[in-house]
């Protein structure tokens, strides 16, 4: 085992320090400190515009931070970006898919990009298409897929090289109940096998059911972070905790004409 691999095994899956991202003079992410342990299912929550997608884009290497540091699996991003990307699976919010390829062509291409031998990439492609019930649409181009099908093929692509860390932005958006159940079971299985899942989602019921740890970001700053069950006050739900954390627990104004 290389020294780098040995070090990475004993470090957090994700560690960011004083992470900032400015757009003009506005801070989308403002001094974020976050540590995600290995082998956990981590939910990263926040209201619209809180900085969730900006954060995950910086983790994915799709947006450079203004300042601060990012380490994934013990390696610095972007200094070791190539090595990091070999070990992570990505499901971005806006699926970065090739619309003029079929699902099979895309999955095999992704497998080859991760240096899988051609026969292994082809075999895993067939297995993943069947698993995600996309094998009946083998001749259909991804550009003709529904949003739910696009999410499923993106999830399949994230699995093909058996990554250690998954970064997922709204992975269940547009996916029907059957597909979402399959994806949840697969991700839970990955965590049981030692992988780490880091996801954003607006569906708090999903996060409550899946995530053993959560962090909440509001106006670019971390306002809550820890083990899910320990963050709750009394019998409150995750939704109650979320509303309390972002400071919008107030009476709803009504309109006379409604």
Q: What is the DSSP string of 70-94?
A: EEETTEEETTTHHHHHTSEEEE-SS
Instruction: Assess if residue 212 is contained within a domain.
Output: no
Per the structure, the complete domain to which residue 126 belongs is given by 97-162
Residue 119 lies in a domain: yes
Query: Taking the mean position of all CA atoms in its chain, how far away is CA 56?
Result: 7
Question: For residues 216 and 243, is the Cβ–Cβ distance under 8 A?
Answer: no
- Residue 218, pLDDT > 60, answer yes
pLDDT band per the 50, 70, 90 thresholds, residue 250: low
Q: Which long-range contacts (CB under 8 A, 24 or more apart) does 101-104 make?
A: 101/141, 101/142, 102/138, 102/139, 102/140, 102/141, 102/142, 103/129, 103/134, 103/137, 103/138, 103/140, 103/142, 103/145, 103/149, 103/153, 103/156, 104/129, 104/138
Q: Is the peptide bond before 78 cis (omega within 30 degrees of 0)?
A: yes
Residue 131 maps to a domain: yes
Euclidean distance between CA atoms 242 and 254, whole angstroms: 22
Q: Is the dihedral of CA 187, 30, 236, 202 positive or negative?
A: negative
pLDDT for the residue numbered 244: 86
Average pLDDT over residues 113-125: 96
**pLDDT band per the 50, 70, 90 thresholds, residue 22:** very high
pLDDT tops 60 at residue 6: no
Residue 60 lies in a domain: no
Residue 231, in any domain of the structure: no
**For the residues 17-38, what does the mean pLDDT come to?**
95
In a domain, 22, yes or no: no
pTM of the model: 0.89
Residues 73-89 pLDDT 10s: 999 999 999 999 999 99
- Structural domain includes residue 134: yes
Our count of domains for the chain comes to 1
Determine the average pLDDT of the residues in 224-245.
Answer: 86
pLDDT above 80 (res 247): no
In a domain? residue 139:
yes
C-beta neighbour count of 177 within 10 angstroms: 8
Average pLDDT over residues 41-49: 93
Kindly tell me if the per-residue pLDDT of 195 is higher than 80: yes
Render pLDDT for 153-190 as a digit per residue (tens, 0 to 9). 999 999 999 999 999 998 988 888 888 899 999 999 99
């Amino acid at each position: 085992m290389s020294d780098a691999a040995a070090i990475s095994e004993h470090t957090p899956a994700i560690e960011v320090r004083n992470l900032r991202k400015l757009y003009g003079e506005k801070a989308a992410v403002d001094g974020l400190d976050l540590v995600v342990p290995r082998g956990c299912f981590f939910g990263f929550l926040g209201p619209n515009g809180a900085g969730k997608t900006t954060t995950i884009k910086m983790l994915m290497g799709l947006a450079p931070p203004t300042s601060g540091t990012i380490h994934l699996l013990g390696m610095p991003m972007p200094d070791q970006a190539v090595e990091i990307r070999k070990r992570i699976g990505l499901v971005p919010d806006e699926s970065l898919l090739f619309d003029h390829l079929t699902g099979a062509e895309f999955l095999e291409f992704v497998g080859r990009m991760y240096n899988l031998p051609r026969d292994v990439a082809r075999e895993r492609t067939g297995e993943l298409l069947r698993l995600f019930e996309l094998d009946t649409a083998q001749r259909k181009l991804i550009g003709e897929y529904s949003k739910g099908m696009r999410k499923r093929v993106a999830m399949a692509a994230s699995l093909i090289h058996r990554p250690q860390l998954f970064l997922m932005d709204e992975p269940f958006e547009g996916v029907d109940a059957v597909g979402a159940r399959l994806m949840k079971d697969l991700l839970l299985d990955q965590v049981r096998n030692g992988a780490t899942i880091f996801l954003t989602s607006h569906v708090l019921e999903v996060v409550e059911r899946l995530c053993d740890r959560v962090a909440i970001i509001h106006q670019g700053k971390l306002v809550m972070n820890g083990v899910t069950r320990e963050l709750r006050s009394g019998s409150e739900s995750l939704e109650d905790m979320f509303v309390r954390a972002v400071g919008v627990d107030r009476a709803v104004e009504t309109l006379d004409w409604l």
